[in-house]
Amino acid sequence: MPEGDAVSSVPVLGGWTPQGNFVAGEWRTGGGAPRAVLSPSSGAVLAELRDASAGDLSDAVARASNAQRVWTDLGPVHRGKILKQAAALLRSHESELALIDALDCGNPIKGMRFDVNLGATLMEFFAGLTTEAKGETIPQVGGKLTLVTREPLGVVARLVPFNHPFMFAAAKIAAPLAAGNAVILKPSEETPLSSLRMAEIIGDLFPDGLLSVLTGGADLGAAICAHPGIAAVGLIGSVPTGRAVLKGGADTLKRTQLELGGKNALVICEDADLDRAVAGAVKGMNLGWTAGQSCGSTSRVLVHETHYAHVVSAIAAAFDAVRLGDPTDEATEMGALSTRAQYDKTLGFIERARKAGARIAAGRPDAGLPDTGFFVRPTLVCDVGPEAEIAREEVFGPVLTVLKWRDESEMLDIVNSLDLGLTASIWTRDLDRALRLTRRIQAGYVWVNDASDHYLGAPFGGVKQSGLGREECLEEMLAYTEAKTVTLVSAG
Ligand code: NAD
């Protein structure tokens, strides 16, 4: 894209205009700095917002603490019913929400429709778990009874990124709400619109002030982490932000859940079904969903040397065939990168790899795409060693690096040599090898002969610096509760 922003201010959100921040049960203009929300595919100004101010944050926390008591007292069954209602309402706004996300984050409308339904499904999933915040009993003697109950934490915050704006907004408020907490949601400053629309659609279902949606950037995120009235912060974001959240929450000893980055390996063994493995490598990049901007994307293929040439040319052909274009067009297979920073960062990685001697087997910057958006073609980088920057750093874009291996234990050393360990994908027909590799690969979420898909209820999260805690499962909801031990002694 674009040297300089070719912005316009065409009304592009289907007639909808955001009302500002949803603070303590009311819509406020926002007392912070102004911010234009831009479409990454066209450069158009989608909305003008003001960041939430420190005062907005304090009001949201104060009101949330009252609302949280009302919410908890409704009991788990009633809370579950309201969350199911919220999910159904959101589903009924599928087209509108998907369009907002396609415009705001640049991903194709088809994928964003999937995201609206996935967000609603995750909300329904947690709605069904409200009665599972269970405790235990401890055997005692002499008429005593010790029991452990689980209580909500109080007011918690969720900080979410730009790559699945609505899906993360809906899914990440669901677990803490199900457990009886109040939630302050901070969407990415780059893609705040569907979170605000979500609050308009479902905000009235909850006690006043239970849910606030505050827009703003790192400063607001830092203020949330430091706020003494917020008991926990759950971040979906980058590793550096994860560190900032831990440091920022240290003084108030915040409970912290971190879902961070990955440079995930996809291993193709000698005996793999090559057609399926190549299709899996393409699917694993999540190009049609997020232009590769998925934490779980398997952006490091390690292929046995006997198949290296074939795999490189087959993936290159598949990449070259991907149709990029307007994200609101149903026929578009891949959209634009979501932000200028991501676009510049991605092109920087590709350029440095090229200069360092890598071969770019697919992906031309001059591929005849509209120059009004942050479009980068799916790019295949090969003929590099495992120590190359492009083989080690998370690009968070449509860039796949292929490495070759000969010896299994050397391959494992390469896979495990990074500080990250989110997902991994192994392609083999040999069950023994599959089991051996799944045990030895350091990653939190591993597929054998598959890639990309998540399974409802299956814990998702990383090892090493890819995060702390697990999400999309019961453990996520329990992370927003605290155990309380009570011993009862007979007074008789
Ligand atoms: P980011 O870390 O820049 O931002 C995430 C959120 O944190 C945003 O709301 C942002 O405003 C906020 N934030 C930024 N700096 C902060 C600070 N100092 N204190 C508090 N909050 C702060 O991430 P991004 O660029 O929006 O998203 C891309 C990253 O997210 C990638 O690294 C990707 O791997 C990761 N991610 C992880 C998962 C997962 O489930 N593991 C899913 C999606 C994205």
Tokens representing 325 are: 């274009």
Residue 417 has pLDDT above 90, yes or no: yes
Residue 226 resides in a domain: yes
Q: Do 143 and 89 share a structural domain?
A: yes
CA distance 337 to 335: 7
Q: Are 231 and 306 contained in the same domain?
A: no
25-29, 371-375, 393-397: least confidently modelled range? 371-375
Digit-coded pLDDT (tens) for 422-432: 999 999 999 99
Which pLDDT does position 304 carry in this prediction?
Answer: 98
Q: Three-state DSSP class for 103? A: helix
Contacts of 221 (CB under 8 A, 6+ apart): 159, 186, 241, 244, 245, 248
3-state helix, strand, coil in the chain (%, to 5): 40, 20, 40
* The pLDDT value given to residue 492: 79
Whether 352 and 315 map to the same domain: the answer is yes
Given ligand 1 and candidates 51, 122, 173, 238, which is best to mutate, with the most ligand atoms within 8 Å of its CB? 238
Q: Which pLDDT band, with edges at 50, 70 and 90, does 31 fall under?
A: confident
Q: Do residues 124 and 83 lie in contact, with contact meaning Cβ atoms separated by under 8 Å?
A: yes
* pLDDT band with cut points at 50, 70 and 90 for residue 9: very low
Task: Tell me the average pLDDT across 321-339.
Answer: 95
Identify whether 296 is part of a domain. yes
Q: Which residues are catalytic?
A: 259, 295
Residue 371: what pLDDT? 79
| pLDDT value of residue 372 | 79
To test the pocket of ligand 1, the residue of 241, 289, 294 to mutate (highest count of ligand atoms within 8 Å of its CB) is: 241
Residue 83 included in any domain: yes
For residue 255, the domain's CATH number is 3.40.605.10
pLDDT digits (tens, 9 = 90+) for 445-460: 999 999 999 999 999 9
Residues 91 and 199 in one domain: yes
pLDDT for residue 13? 77
Residue 227 shares a structural domain with residue 333? no
Average pLDDT over residues 459-476: 98
Q: Please identify, by atom number, the ligand 1 atom nearest to the C-alpha of residue 422.
A: 41
Whether residues 193 and 281 share a domain: the answer is no
Predicted local distance difference test score (pLDDT) of residue 358: 98
2 is a domain residue: no
pLDDT at 168 over 90: yes
Q: What is the mean pLDDT of residues 301-320?
A: 98
Q: Would you say residue 492 lies in a domain?
A: no
Q: Domain range for residue 289?
A: 265-456
Cα 113 from Cα 291, distance rounded (Å): 15
Q: Are residues 294 and 376 in the same domain?
A: yes
Where residue 104 falls among pLDDT bands split at 50, 70, 90? very high
Claim to verify: residue 394 and residue 412 sit in the same structural domain: yes
Residues 134 and 251 in one domain: yes
CA distance 417 to 191: 33
- pLDDT tens sequence across 389-413: 999 999 999 999 999 999 999 999 9
For residues 465 and 419, give the distance between their C-alpha atoms in angstroms, rounded to a whole number: 6
Instruction: Please indicate whether residue 189, judged by its CB atom, sits closer than 6 Å to ligand 1.
Output: yes
User: Mean per-residue pLDDT for 288-301?
Assistant: 97
| SS3 category, 60 | helix
Residue 259's pLDDT band, with cuts at 50, 70 and 90, is very high
Task: Please tell me the predicted confidence (pLDDT) of residue 53.
Answer: 96
For atom 8 of ligand 1, the residue with the nearest CA is 188
Q: What is the pLDDT of residues 229-252, one digit of tens each?
A: 999 999 999 999 999 999 999 999
Q: Is the pLDDT of residue 15 over 90?
A: no
One domain, residues 306 and 203: no
When pLDDT is cut at 50, 70 and 90, the band that residue 366 belongs to is: low
Tokens representing 474? Answer: 């019961």
d(CA 173, CA 177): 6
**Beta carbon of 18 within 6 Å of any ligand 1 atom:** no
Model confidence at 368, pLDDT cuts 50, 70, 90, reads: low
Ramachandran area for residue 44 (φ above 0: left; ψ -120 to 50: alpha; else beta) = beta
71, with CB counted inside 10 A (0-12, 13-18, 19+), is: buried
Give yes or no for residue 260 CB within 6 A of ligand 1.
yes
pLDDT of 369: 72
Looking at the structure, do residues 138 and 286 belong to the same domain, yes or no?
A: no
Residue 7 Cα to ligand 1 midpoint, Å, equals 26
Report how far ligand 1's centroid is from the alpha carbon of 155 (Å). 21
Residue 10, pLDDT score: 40
Residue 8 has what pLDDT? 35
Domain membership of residue 34 (yes or no) is: yes
pTM of the model: 0.96
Number of independent structural domains in the chain = 2
| Same domain assignment for residues 140 and 252 | yes
What percentage of residues in the chain have a pLDDT greater than 70? 97
DSSP string, 409-453: HHHHHHHTTSSEESEEEEE-S-HHHHHHHHHHS--SEEEES--S-
Cα(237) to centroid of ligand 1, in Å?
2
**Beta carbons within 10 angstroms of residue 187's beta carbon:** 27
- pLDDT at residue number 365: 62
**Helix (H) and strand (E) counts for the chain?**
16, 22
Residue whose entry in the numeric block shows the structure tokens 């009633």: 78
